Amino acid sequence: MAGFLVANRKPVFIEEVITLKTWYVEDAGGGCRAFGEVLVLVCEETGEVYSARVPVTWTNKMGWEELVCQLMIDLMEKAQASRDDRFLVCSGNIFHTYHKWLSDHGYNWKTHKMDGLAHEAAENEFHRMVVEAGFPANIKLADRDYRSYYNEIEKWVSSDPARKQRYWKDREVRKKPAQPRYVLKSTLGRARNCHQCNQRIPPFSPAVELKYRQNGRKLRYFFHPACSPVKPLQCQLDRLEVPWKGGQLTGILVPCPEQIHCALCGRPVEPGEKTFYAYEDNRLLCGHPACFANTRSTGGIC
Ligand SMILES: [Zn+2]
Ligand SMILES: [Zn+2]
Report the C-alpha gap between 53 and 64 in whole angstroms. Answer: 12
Helix, strand, coil shares of the chain, percent, nearest 5, are 25, 30, 45
Rounded to 10°, the helix 64-78/96-104 angle is 50
**Residue ranges per domain, the chain?**
4-172, 182-235, 239-296
If you average pLDDT over residues 46-75, what whole number do you get?
94
267 Cα–ligand 2 center, Å? 6
C-alpha 191 to ligand 2 mean position (Å) = 25
Those residues whose beta carbon sits under 5 angstroms from the ion ligand 2 are: 262, 264-265, 287-288, 291
pLDDT tens-digit series, residues 246-289: 889 999 999 999 999 999 999 999 999 999 999 998 999 999 99
Q: How far, in Å, is the centroid of ligand 2 from the Cα of 290? A: 7
The rounded Å distance from CA 19 to ligand 1 centre is 41
* Cα 24 to Cα 12: distance, rounded to the nearest angstrom: 18
- Poorest-pLDDT segment among 115-119, 124-128, 176-180, 185-189: 176-180
- For ligand 2, the distance from its centroid to the CA atom of residue 292, given in whole angstroms, is 8
The confidence band for 19, taking pLDDT boundaries of 50, 70 and 90, is low
Phi and psi for 271 in degrees, rounded to 5? -55, 135
Please indicate whether residue 298 or residue 159 has the higher confidence score (pLDDT): 159
β-strand pairing of 239-244 with 295-296: antiparallel
- What is the 186 CA–ligand 2 centroid distance (Å)? 22
**Mean pLDDT within 57-78:** 94
Q: What torsion, rounded to 10 degrees, do the Cα atoms 195, 201, 206, 212 define? A: 30
> At 213, is the pLDDT very low, low, confident or very high (cuts 50, 70, 90)?
confident
Which ligand minimizes its atom distance to the CA of 270?
2
Q: For residue 212, what pLDDT is reported?
A: 86
**Ligand 1 centroid to 225 CA: how many Å?**
8
- Identify the nearest ligand to the CA of 288 by its number: 2
Predicted local confidence at residue 11, as pLDDT = 52
Considering Cα of 184, then 188, then 193, then 197, what sign does the dihedral take?
positive
Element (H, E) at 129: helix 116-132
Mean pLDDT for 46-64 is: 94
What ligand is nearest to the CA atom of residue 206? 1
φ and ψ at 257, to 5 degrees?
-75, -30
d(C-alpha 212, C-alpha 205), whole Å: 22
- Residue 141 confidence class, pLDDT cut points 50, 70, 90: very high
Query: 288 C-alpha to center of ligand 1: Å?
Result: 29
> Tell me, which fold does domain 4-172 have in CATH?
Nucleotidyltransferase; domain 5 (3.30.420)
Three-class SS state of 40: strand
**HSE of 55 in the Cβ direction (CA atoms, 13 Å)?**
10
Rounded average pLDDT over 127-156 = 96
The whole-number pLDDT of residue 106 equals 93
Distance 275 CA to ligand 2 centre (A): 9
pLDDT tier, 13 (very low <50, low <70, confident <90, very high otherwise): low
Structural contact between residues 1 and 15, judged by C-beta atoms closer than 8 angstroms: yes
Report the pLDDT value the prediction gives residue 89, as an integer from 0 to 100. Answer: 97
Closest ligand relative to 291 C-alpha: 2
Residue 10 has what DSSP assignment?
Answer: S
- Measured from the alpha carbon of residue 262, the closest ligand is 2
User: DSSP assignment of 55-106, as one string?
Assistant: -S--SS---HHHHHHHHHHHHHHHTT--TTSEEEE--SGGGHHHHHHHHHTT
pLDDT at 6 over 60: no
Note the pLDDT of residue 176.
72
Q: What is the pLDDT of residue 114?
A: 87
- pLDDT at position 66: 92
Q: What is the pLDDT of residues 182-191, one digit of tens each?
A: 999 999 999 9
For residue 223, how far is its CA from the centre of ligand 1 (angstroms)? Answer: 5
Q: Is 233's pLDDT higher than 90? A: no
CA of 203 to the centre of ligand 1 (A): 14
Q: Which residue has the higher pLDDT, 157 or 299?
A: 157
pLDDT of residue 175: 86
Q: Quote the mean pLDDT of the chain.
A: 89
The pLDDT value recorded for residue 20 is: 87
